[in-house]
A and B are shown apart, each in its own frame.
Chain A
Amino acid sequence: MRNSKPVRGKSLRKSLFLASGIAIAAALAIGLAATLYAGPAIAHPGNTCNPEPGHGTPGCHIAETTTTSPYTPTSAAGSSTTTPITTQGSSTSVVPPSGAVTAIDPNAVQMFADKEHCLSCHGDPSIKNLMTIKRPDGTPIILFVDTKVGSDSVHRYKDCTSCHGDEPHDVKSPLNKLSLSEKCGTCHEYEYAQWKNSVHGKPQFDGNSDPATCTDCHSVTSNPHNVVRVLDPASSTYPKNVADTCAKCHDDPKLMDKYGIVEKVYASYMRSFHGKAMNLAPGSAPLKQLDTATCTNCHGAHNISSVTDPNSPVAGMDNLLATCRTCHPDAQPQFVSGFLGHKAVNSDFLPQAYWGGKAFYILSRGMLAGGGLIVATSISLRGVPWVGRRIKRRRAKRRRKGEEE
């Protein structure tokens, strides 16, 4: 009877089962393939450009710069502007990283346009400790120019005197943040004009040098000799690095206390989806994978203004909506009202989300704890199945042996 029973529809069932397995594999394979082929395009279909230059939408610069890899000398030369600009701007307080350079590397020196042979003296590390020349405030001016630091500087083909004056020893070097930015502004006029009226620029004219000047953002070490091209992945202004650059000051509790800025902007940005997407992109990510918003996309860059300024792109729902729409074109006012910005939900701000989230958290974790409790109770009362089985088998064996004897 049993022999006659079995295989009605067995082959059909088997083939159906096989087909379902193939379907799973195919679905996963297609998904993976499609992802690897067109992944980034899925993430942000609607990233549009802010037409205003300097707004800092990273997508905008793709058309301008054909390459995002560390640039070649030709592209650097091609991008140079007509008016004089700096390689050497011995300025504020930058001490080049000590060590490493024991003699002038002739190859490194040749990377700089050095018509006046400034580096024959200033590139010599032995003058590092020569501190006889001082600023008005008494701090020494470091005369040594570390050519290693400047070797990928965007301005390395500019002659020293472009910034330091035609008569180099008649010291007209930029000596504070304001004069430095004025010097940069002789070429970068538009950016300088914007910065002058920004929340970073205005206080400089009142003698406050706390806010950022050009090199604070454009150089990792605030070293004017080390200004790297904006979209160089190593640059402090590369989209992936912008948040860290802003955090140099905006995550400094002392400095923020001084200006009464209480929000932990860096931490809250990294908690947000924008921050996570930026943070989790690989270090070598190309620009098109970094199309999520960073600080400058919402707050502006050279023209950055205080959030209390009614003209700030993030001040008030109307401005905020317009700013959101630069990347989310079909955003509605409710989309903005649900945007956390740098805040977290609490009993005053979006209370529905706060209490709802809290309630669900308690419910879900309570259920999970209950599940764990059930399993723990079951294990403790019934024993771990395989251990119990082994123990009983051993006891039985022993018992049998005893009987045999």
Chain B
Amino acid sequence: MSSRIVIEERRTGVAITRFDVQQRAQHLLLIASFFVLAITGLPLKYSEWAASAWWMGVWHGVDNVRAVHHYAAWIMIAVCAYHLMYIMVSRPFSTAVLPKPQDVKDFIQDIKHTFHLSKEPPKYDRFSYRNKAAYWLVYPGALTVIVTGLILLYPTQATAHLPGWTLPLALMVHSDAAILAIGWIVMVHMYFAHFSRHTIPFDKSVLTGKVPIERYREEFPLEYARIVASEKIPAPSRRKIQKPVWEDEVEFEEAAEED
């Protein structure tokens, strides 16, 4: 696809670098700030819980918790701004993550496959429709919490320009959006990113950026084919690439059932 994808040799097998250091650093900063924001924001929302009072005591008071919440918020804002800058200046300008009609077809195919209506799973290019949805959902989500958060951080300055009812509205929206984000990350993102059959229990590519080539072939077959075709690497002989255990077993079992 682009020069970004580099095949590297690892001791256990061949891996493709899927995320470069820029992307990994941004993602890690986003994780760190999000985590801090969550653990400092939740006890404010559920202040009547005994656990919240205990947690506030650990931090020596609500003022410290609020201050840390504000620091982490600025880090998150900085990461978001940096990311916008990064996609603007990085060359070649990547359009891989833009939604395309193919994503709708992939989605339908994936539904069929999930409900056992089709044996054929969808073939993804660089980003699956799920990857794209996860990416684009962050934009409205981050925009919502950042705007409402700034209104709450500077209430008097904000109401110099905005009507007064924005204050209680911002408070409600900020906390509801935060609950949505936390719930979504914990349930949906964790499930699809780490608990899929390819990656369970933890997808190390979030840290290393590298995806084993056999998994790449299975998860993103179109991009894999292009990488191989584009010669950056010679097509690895099938003999040398170990099949995933999973595949073996499935074939084995299917064979058993046929017997």
Whether A and B are associated in the same complex: the answer reads yes
Contact with A along B52-68 (1 / 0, CB 8 A): 11001100111111111
Contacts of A334 in B (CB 8 A): 159-160, 162-164
Q: Which of A8, A377, A385, A399 meets B200, CB within 8 Å?
A: A385
Q: Is the beta-carbon distance between A31 and B249 smaller than 8 angstroms?
A: no
| A361 touching B172 in the complex, CB below 8 Å, given contacts A279-B47, A378-B114 | yes
Complex Cα gap A36–B166 (Å): 32
Q: Which of B8, B43, B197, B200 meets A280, CB within 8 Å?
A: B43
Selecting from B94-102, B214-222, B250-258, the interface stretch reads B250-258
Q: Is the beta-carbon distance between B52 and A332 smaller than 8 angstroms?
A: no
Q: How far is the CB of A2 from chain B (nearest CB, A)?
A: 5
A100 at the A/B interface (Cβ < 8 Å)?
no
A190 at the A/B interface (Cβ < 8 Å)?
no
Contact with B along A1-40 (1 / 0, CB 8 A): 1110111101001001100110110011001101110011
Q: How far is the CB of B208 from chain A (nearest CB, A)?
A: 9
Contacts of B60 in A (CB 8 A): 36, 39, 282
Q: Is the beta-carbon distance between B114 and A377 smaller than 8 angstroms?
A: yes
Q: Is the beta-carbon distance between B164 and A335 smaller than 8 angstroms?
A: yes
Complex Cα gap A362–B106 (Å): 29
B147 at the A/B interface (Cβ < 8 Å)?
no
Complex Cα gap A42–B154 (Å): 12
B225 at the A/B interface (Cβ < 8 Å)?
no
Q: Is the beta-carbon distance between A386 and B180 smaller than 8 angstroms?
A: no
Selecting from A169-177, A199-207, A388-396, the interface stretch reads A388-396
Complex Cα gap A330–B249 (Å): 70
Contacts of A43 in B (CB 8 A): 62-63, 66-67
Of all chain B residues, the one with the shortest Cβ separation from A12 is: B21
Complex Cα gap A54–B166 (Å): 34
Contacts of B165 in A (CB 8 A): 337-338, 345, 350, 352-353
Q: Is the beta-carbon distance between A357 and B249 smaller than 8 angstroms?
A: no
Q: Which 5 A-B pairs have the closest CB atoms?
A: A338-B164, A337-B164, A20-B25, A31-B71, A357-B172
Q: Is the beta-carbon distance between B70 and A42 smaller than 8 angstroms?
A: yes
A285 at the A/B interface (Cβ < 8 Å)?
yes
Of all chain B residues, the one with the shortest Cβ separation from A16 is: B21
- List A96-115 residues whose CB lies under 8 Å from chain B: none
Q: Which of B28, B167, B233 meets A21, CB within 8 Å?
A: B28
Contacts of B52 in A (CB 8 A): 280
| A396 touching B67 in the complex, CB below 8 Å, given contacts A24-B29, A280-B43, A368-B183 | no
A133 at the A/B interface (Cβ < 8 Å)?
no
Q: How far is the CB of A25 from chain B (nearest CB, A)?
A: 9
Of all chain A residues, the one with the shortest Cβ separation from B66 is: A43
Q: Is the beta-carbon distance between A280 and B72 smaller than 8 angstroms?
A: no
Contacts of B177 in A (CB 8 A): 360, 364
A375 at the A/B interface (Cβ < 8 Å)?
yes
Q: Which of A3, A353, A393 meets B172, CB within 8 Å?
A: A353
Q: Is the beta-carbon distance between B61 and A282 smaller than 8 angstroms?
A: yes
Q: Which of B6, B7, B44, B71 meets A34, CB within 8 Å?
A: B71
Q: Is the beta-carbon distance between B72 and A281 smaller than 8 angstroms?
A: no
- List B207-257 residues whose CB lies under 8 Å from chain A: 233-234, 245-246, 249-250, 252-253, 256
Complex Cα gap A377–B246 (Å): 21
Q: Is the beta-carbon distance between B21 and A381 smaller than 8 angstroms?
A: no
Q: Which of B167, B191, B249 meets A338, CB within 8 Å?
A: B167
B195 at the A/B interface (Cβ < 8 Å)?
yes
Q: Which of B29, B72, B187, B250 meets A392, CB within 8 Å?
A: B250
Of all chain A residues, the one with the shortest Cβ separation from B200 is: A385
A372 at the A/B interface (Cβ < 8 Å)?
yes
A277 at the A/B interface (Cβ < 8 Å)?
yes
Q: Is the beta-carbon distance between B68 and A32 smaller than 8 angstroms?
A: yes
Contacts of A395 in B (CB 8 A): 253, 256
| A331 touching B156 in the complex, CB below 8 Å, given contacts A16-B21, A39-B61, A360-B173 | yes
Instruction: List 7 A-B pairs, Cβ < 8 Å.
Output: A2-B9, A13-B20, A34-B71, A328-B156, A334-B163, A360-B173, A396-B253
B91 at the A/B interface (Cβ < 8 Å)?
no
| A276 touching B114 in the complex, CB below 8 Å, given contacts A361-B172, A368-B180 | no
Contacts of A382 in B (CB 8 A): 114, 197
Q: Is the beta-carbon distance between A337 and B163 smaller than 8 angstroms?
A: yes
A289 at the A/B interface (Cβ < 8 Å)?
yes
A130 at the A/B interface (Cβ < 8 Å)?
no
Of all chain B residues, the one with the shortest Cβ separation from A331 is: B156
Inter-chain pairs besides A277-B62, A393-B249, 6 sampled, C-beta below 8 Å? A27-B75, A34-B71, A337-B165, A345-B165, A375-B188, A399-B253
| A399 touching B176 in the complex, CB below 8 Å, given contacts A39-B64, A289-B61, A385-B200 | no
Of all chain B residues, the one with the shortest Cβ separation from A400 is: B252
Q: How far is the CB of A177 from chain B (nearest CB, A)?
A: 34
Q: Which of B63, B168, B197, B256 meets A345, CB within 8 Å?
A: B168
Contacts of A375 in B (CB 8 A): 187-188, 191-192
Contact with B along A259-303 (1 / 0, CB 8 A): 000000000001001001101111001000100000000000000
A78 at the A/B interface (Cβ < 8 Å)?
no
Q: Is the beta-carbon distance between A368 and B172 smaller than 8 angstroms?
A: no
Contact with A along B187-209 (1 / 0, CB 8 A): 11001100111001100000000
| A8 touching B6 in the complex, CB below 8 Å, given contacts A28-B32, A336-B164 | yes
Q: How far is the CB of B182 from chain A (nearest CB, A)?
A: 9
Q: Which of A40, A280, A350 meets B168, CB within 8 Å?
A: A350
Q: Is the beta-carbon distance between B47 and A5 smaller than 8 angstroms?
A: no
Complex Cα gap A353–B114 (Å): 41
Q: How far is the CB of B172 from chain A (nearest CB, A)?
A: 4
Q: Is the beta-carbon distance between B183 and A285 smaller than 8 angstroms?
A: no
B118 at the A/B interface (Cβ < 8 Å)?
no
A365 at the A/B interface (Cβ < 8 Å)?
yes
Complex Cα gap A334–B164 (Å): 5
